[in-house]
Amino acid sequence: MQKIVIVGAGIFGHSLAVALRGLDKECAVTLISDENYPAYERKKLPEFLSGGIKEEGFFLCNEDFYAKENISFIKGKKIGSLNLAKNTAYFKDKGNIEFDYLVIASGRSPELPEIPGAKKEGVYRLYSLDDAKKFSSRFITHPVCVVGSDDFSLNIAKVVSEKNQVEVKLISRNSFDPSFLPAHIEAINSSITEIIGEGEAQAIKLKEGKAIGVCAVLFVDYYRSNIDFLKNANIDVKDDLVVIDEEMSTNVSNIFALGSVTGRQNIDDVLLLALNLTRLMKGATCQTS
């Protein structure tokens, strides 16, 4: 029995597992998540923060779904390293799993920048459901700083402002058109050099030297690929993205990559990769249709 291991249970990893099972009822499909939840769409985190979606309605499926589809779902486990000679992935804490084919769908996540004060209480990143829960537990009484440069960041800023009835300082590397911004959101084209406060975030310092009082800082920017486990694996990575060809294959013949970790976020790639893996398992040449 051929064994396929998918690292990452976001929308791409989950969809690939489901597509593979639909095409091949016999192969062993394992989906690994470093979170303790079934798959969900991260783009819906703003709606969760706003209260528009409750936790029970947030997921793409319940955990019973994987068992019914004969998909092995491993949650709360992070891959720490790979041994390609043995076709084995090692978990960061303990244990390992063998594979015939491995798919890297671990995504990209915002990280806290290496600036003074970044580890203070009241400083958050927003990537996961747990991140959203932690931020929601913060008592918001003063302006909040949101750091981000895309539409997702703007949506987060709007939700934080509307839900808490506070002003939001949106610190961005890009310029947002003020005419499209709600009254309580101020977009500032700058970057943060320090987070100031006695034990917790009380103000931010911009690169120009200006200090702005805030009660919390939320980073939705500074994305990096979740590929620390590829260190020493000799899998080609360029500009923090896994290098793939048109069939999502890496430079290692039985290792594939999918989703934002490759810089491509075309959901059609899911079916293409599922078909290619199915052909490979049947001994056919991997090719596009």
Say yes or no: 115 and 166 in one domain.
yes
Contacts of 259 (CB under 8 A, 6+ apart): 8, 10, 11, 12, 13, 105, 107, 265, 269
101 vs 279: CA distance, rounded Å? 12
Q: Please check whether residues 206 and 182 belong to one and the same domain.
A: yes
Mind listing the pLDDT tens digit for each residue in 118-150? 999 999 999 999 999 999 998 888 899 999 998
CA 140 to chain centre: 25
Given 168, 199, 219, which residue is the final one in a domain?
A: 219
pLDDT of residue 63: 86
Please indicate, yes or no, whether residues 211 and 231 belong to a single structural domain of this protein: no
**Is position 24 within any domain?**
yes
pLDDT in tens, 56-70: 889 999 989 999 999
- Please say if the pLDDT value at position 285 is more than 50: no
168-222 residue pLDDT tens: 999 998 888 888 888 899 999 999 999 999 989 999 999 999 999 999 999 998 8
Looking at 199, 219, 239, the residue that finishes a domain is 219
Query: Where in the sequence is the domain holding 125, given as residue range(s)?
Result: 110-219
* Last residue within a domain, chosen from 219, 247, 266: 219
Half-sphere CA count of 205, side-chain side, radius 13 A: 10
Does 260 fall in a domain? yes
- Is the domain of 83 the same as that of 213? no
Q: Is residue 259 part of a domain?
A: yes
Is 248 in a helix, a strand, or coil?
Answer: coil
Residues 102, 241: one domain?
A: yes
Does any domain span residue 92?
yes
In this structure, the answer to whether residues 136 and 263 fall within a common structural domain is: no
Detail the DSSP E strand segments found in 8-149: 28-32, 71-74, 79-83, 88-91, 96-98, 101-104, 108-110, 123-125, 144-147
Residue 252 counted as domain residue = yes
Tally of domains within the chain: 2
pLDDT tens readout for residues 150-161? 889 999 999 999
Q: Is 70 helix (H, G, I), strand (E, B) or coil?
A: coil
- Strands of 79-83's sheet, edge to edge? 79-83, 88-91, 96-98
Q: How far apart are CA 265 and CA 268, in angstroms?
A: 9
DSSP 259: G
Q: Are residues 118 and 99 in the same domain?
A: no
Same domain (yes/no): 77, 17: yes
CA-closest candidate to residue 131, choices 151, 112, 104, 105: 112
Domain membership of residue 230 (yes or no) is: yes
Q: What is the CATH number of the domain that holds 206?
A: 3.50.50.60
Tell me: do 136 and 101 sit in the same domain.
Answer: no
Give yes or no: residues 7 and 100 share one domain: yes
